[in-house]
Amino acid sequence: MGMNLIEKILAAHSKYSSVKPGDIIDVEIDVRAARDFGGPNVVKHLTEMKLEVENISKTFFTFDTNPTGSDQKYAANQQYCRKFARDRGIRIFDIDNGIGTHTFINEGLAYPGATAVTTDSHANILGAIGAFGQGMGDQDIAVAWHKGKVWFKVPESVKLNFVGIRPANITAKDIALNLLNIFGANKLLGTSVELYGEEIDKLTLDERITIASMGTEMGVIILLFEPNQEILDYCSERTGRTIPPLKADFDASYTQLHTIDIESFRQMISLPGKPHDTIVIEKVFKRKIDSAFIGSCTNGRIDDLRAAAKVLKGRKVAPGVVLKIVPATNEVWLQALSEGLIQLFKNSGAMVSNAGCAGCAAGQVGMNGPGEVTISTGNRNFPGKQGNGEVYLASPEVVAASAIAGYITSPEEIPDIPMLFDALQQSEHEANVLENTKNAVQKSNIVEGRVWYILEDNIDTDMIFHNRYLAITDMKEMGQYAFDNLKGYEQFAKMAKPGDIIVTGKNFGAGSSRQQAVDCFLALGVSAILAESYGAIYERNAINAALPILTYSSLDGLQLADGNILRVNMETGEVVNVTKGTTSRVNPFYDVQMEIYQNNGLF
């Protein structure tokens, strides 16, 4: 009995001449990579276990999940990995490079018959060129770096034979979505799937990548394409050597055989929440959208950008709609630039970012907010995956057409006039806000609480509320991070009690304009802050938010210590150390400050 594609690849990288489904074998890995997502844990395992890297020429880092380095945690992780790589001579495809799996193909590191593992669940994208790619956890990757091989269970194989002529308007993304419509997320679970047929053989590299990328959403180990001559020529050119054909044996065994009529395929779209919840696009025509996204490892290739450009040429993105475009790699970005696509995108009103995974990995442009409706070329739309809004999945052509229309549509149905957003009517509640404020109860001008005596000068807003938390907009969530970047007070938020009073030195709140540095104290119930002076912006922010802040020249007479109970009269400036029975004075509120305080804030 002969072997199919997955069996041939795995056998060639094991000590066995042939393998069959269910065999557990050690597989030699040609490409062993870790991303900025998962990479730090790989390094941690190696360093803690004092393990060496077996072959640095086959070992790589790819920083593609946050290629802007804009998130402080990602930036720290990237630098941690960079240092490890520099010390050992490991090659890094850094934040200027793009998606790692695409890079392996472009750089000739992966080729037909090769094996690769990385901390990317879409490493099976390499099935597009007839290579074995597998996403694995950081422990597996650490072992692969150290031993050069990992254990693997040979999967069962399924063969899909495509018949008929592919309709002109059916894109590679539509093929993937139609397959999800047929097989769902688990009918082919854990299998290696091979695709055959005349129309399959015609698919370009970029189209194969799109389809292979969504194998994970189908629950398969990998979607494998037998390399045609175009793929062999491309990989031979990229590797610098002749790549031999890779074919399944004529008598290879498959656990399932399916005949797929490609002529029956329709333009499809995935409904929010589940990639496999696919329907014909006509059923959601005219669904109003807020944003559109073109990119990801599924649809960020040059063919995808050209297809989008063809739809966008001479047109504008609908008013109020945001179109975000992210090429998969820097090579694609530069090619799009040379072909004039970047200029075309900008002329249409789109935003173009540097290469990378983008919103799919939550580390770059492409995320959406609560209530936001997005149409995306990504491979996943799980709740929260690309943000907290609704995400529909579709082809680049459909996404571009929808961005122009302002609602979900196809390139054939773009309207002359886009759909606009309706102006919101003032609610009854909003109309009565001013009336309701007249009934507000007057607040006491005296506060009393336990003292936190932090006699330091120049405590800045990063010490108070670090910028890694700036995406937080709910005040209730802010309190837990107060002072967590001030040395010696990292546990402040856990120990603080409502009513506490902070007494500190000069220039409190220096630095940025972030309101969170005030709101975090309000969230904890801090009743007042006494300082010799404040940063100018911080002072305004605190007063406007009705956080009582006062200044003093000297508090020597109070004999103040941590934990004392302090009573402060904001109108007269009298301060009493209740614990010790001593008194002093601070500068009282001035009229505007008192007015805003009694109004419970500027608004």
Please determine, for residue 70, whether its predicted confidence score (pLDDT) is greater than 70. no
Please determine, for residue 196, whether its predicted confidence score (pLDDT) is greater than 90. yes
Please determine, for residue 325, whether its predicted confidence score (pLDDT) is greater than 50. yes
Residue type, 67: P
Instruction: Give the single-character DSSP code of 264.
Output: G
Among the residue ranges 201-215, 430-444, 527-541, the one predicted with the least confidence is 430-444
Pairing of strands 24-28, 149-153: antiparallel
Measured between alpha carbons, how far apart are the two ends of the chain, in Å? Answer: 79
Give the confidence band of 368 by pLDDT, cuts at 50, 70, 90.
Answer: confident
Structure confidence at residue 388 (pLDDT): 77
**Radius of gyration (Cα) for the chain, nearest Å?**
30
Among the residue ranges 34-38, 278-282, 550-554, the one predicted with the least confidence is 34-38
* Category of 349 on φ-ψ map: left (φ > 0), alpha (ψ -120 to 50) or beta: left
Domains by residue range for the chain, with CATH? 5-264 (3.30.499.10), 270-413 (3.30.499.10), 446-598 (3.20.19.10)
Write out the two tokens for 47: 């360093």
Structure confidence at residue 193 (pLDDT): 97
Give the whole-angstrom CA distance, residue 259 versus residue 419.
41
Kindly compute the dihedral angle of the four CA atoms of residues 475, 476, 477, 478, in this order, to the nearest 10 degrees. 50
Nearest Cα residue to 33 out of 128, 130, 192, 150: 150
Please determine, for residue 430, whether its predicted confidence score (pLDDT) is greater than 60. no
Structure confidence at residue 437 (pLDDT): 47
Structure confidence at residue 443 (pLDDT): 87
Give the whole-angstrom CA distance, residue 117 versus residue 287.
40
pLDDT tens, residue by residue, 288-321: 999 999 998 899 999 999 999 999 999 999 999 9
Structure confidence at residue 363 (pLDDT): 58
Please determine, for residue 7, whether its predicted confidence score (pLDDT) is greater than 80. yes
Helix (H) or strand (E) holding 78: helix 72-88
Q: Mean pLDDT over residues 143-159, rounded? A: 95
Beta carbons within 8 Å of 415's beta carbon, 6+ residues apart: 405, 409
Q: Say if CB 330 and CB 72 are below 8 A apart.
A: no
What rounded mean pLDDT belongs to the chain?
A: 92
Q: Mean pLDDT over residues 424-445, rounded? A: 57
Q: What is the pTM of this model?
A: 0.78
Sheet containing 549-551: order of strands: 549-551, 528-531, 501-504, 446-454, 565-569, 574-577, 582-585
